Amino acid sequence: MHFHANQAKSFTEGRNIRCFGEVRPGPQGLEMVHPEYQLFDDTPPPLADQLTPIYPTTEGISVVRIGQLIELAWQQLEHQRLHIEELLPQQLIKQYQLPSLQSSLQQLHYPKVGVDIQQLESQVTPAKLRLVLEELIAHQLTLSRAKQQTQSLPAPALAAVQNLEQQFIQQLPFSLTGAQRRVWSEIMADVSQPLPMVRMVQGDVGSGTTVVAALAACRAVDNGCQVAVLAPTEILAEQHLHNFKHWLEPLGVTVVWLTGKQKTKPKRDALAAIANGTAQIVIGTHALFQDSVEYQHLGLAVIDEQHRFGVAQRHCLVAKAPPNCGLHQLVMTATPIPRTLAMSAYGDLDHSVIDELPPGRKPINSVLLNNV
């Protein structure tokens, strides 16, 4: 056994010790590693009537220190030197029989000895659910405010000119599925309004989300707007570049490539084409929203695998729209997202699903593997 000098002096013969910690088998019997302990002579001090929480730690701060800081904060609350506002409406608290915010904090940080341990460890106590509900409501309010801010500026209403759209559909070697046509109609209804579209299209790999994005790009180009197609990796961006060039360049649409790794002259030429408007569709990675990029009239942003981009990065691209003008946004994902999760995590986006594969395509099975 190893002790600091002060510890060694406190362990005198005949004194009693009470240890708190995880008991586990050791080389010479049961042992505790770094236990908490109390020393006493005859009568043991009374046990606390509450459990001791074990907090997750980070470098530079111990469990004990975290507990001390929480105790200091709690003392401020108990003596009313610190006030926390009850944010949930009283009607909601009564309806679901929720504890108050202060009571919830007390029950979680200072649980009584007789509490249901299984319920506590499963994090389904009323106190925990109370805090979870407040966080979810705050998250939804934040998303709602973000959507209001997004739609506070007018966006160009993209009229149904249809010349380019119809040419594009006619030259495809396949027919659109019913799901693609449904989602296309939802997108067209959005962009025909003088408010920014913010819509997420979800579809398995091979379901044809890129074709729908190309249709939206055709509508924007037909109305004299530029389109930015943003992908998180160069490999994915190159796939989009190949598809858009193959589909649209024969129809007279200029597609430009822009990434951070381009050599000086191709990059300078791309930036000039974007600035003077000859680049009608710009495809690339994070370079699309760098300070050096100036669009002549950006009207639509297509963002693939949008969960790979932060909100701030999306806003940087939105800021490339003309002054005092909003930007239509179409975000795509092949990641399976349950509808309820999509509504909670992406509440600022309208939601469309391409739930039909083209004929001959093999279905996609999504599985979750543990410990691979």
Q: Is residue 321 part of a domain?
A: yes
Residue with tokens 């220190």: 65
What residues make up the domain containing 133? Answer: 68-150
Q: Is residue 314 part of a domain?
A: yes
Instruction: With a cut of 70, say whether residue 319 has pLDDT above it.
Output: yes
> Of 118, 150, 182, at which residue does a domain stop?
150
Q: Is residue 56 part of a domain?
A: no
The pLDDT tens digits for 276-307 are 999 999 999 999 999 999 999 999 999 997 66
The pLDDT tens digits for 24-37 are 998 989 998 888 88
Percent of the chain topping pLDDT 70: 92
Sheet holding 298-304, edge to edge: 255-258, 281-284, 226-230, 298-304, 328-333, 198-203, 350-354
Percent of the chain topping pLDDT 90: 45
Q: Which of 217, 210, 280, 290 is nearest to 242 (CA)?
A: 210
The pLDDT score that the predictor gives to residue 170 is 93
Going by their DSSP bridges, the two strands 350-354 and 328-333 should be labelled as: unpaired
- The residue-averaged pLDDT of 316-323 equals 90
Residue 342 sits in the same domain as residue 253? yes
Which pair of structure tokens corresponds to residue 278? 């000859």
Going by their DSSP bridges, the two strands 23-26 and 29-32 should be labelled as: antiparallel
Residue 346 sits in the same domain as residue 251? yes
Q: Which of 88, 118, 117 is nearest to 104 (CA)?
A: 88
Distance CA 135, CA 275 (A): 43
Residue 228 sits in the same domain as residue 305? yes
C-alpha to C-alpha distances, 196 to 161, 190, 222, 348, nearest whole angstrom: 19, 8, 17, 12
Q: Is residue 209 part of a domain?
A: yes
Residue with tokens 């299209």: 201
The pLDDT tens digits for 164-209 are 999 999 999 889 999 999 999 999 999 999 999 999 998 888 788 9
Rounded to two decimals, what is the model's pTM?
Answer: 0.72
The pLDDT tens digits for 229-246 are 999 999 999 999 999 999
Going by their DSSP bridges, the two strands 36-40 and 16-20 should be labelled as: antiparallel
Which pair of structure tokens corresponds to residue 92? 């909601």
Residue 194 sits in the same domain as residue 79? no
Average pLDDT, the chain: 87
Instruction: With a cut of 90, say whether residue 123 has pLDDT above it.
Output: no
Angle 165-169-170 (CA atoms, 0-180°, nearest 5)?
Answer: 115
Instruction: With a cut of 90, say whether residue 46 has pLDDT above it.
Output: no
Q: Per the structure, how many domains does the chain have? A: 3
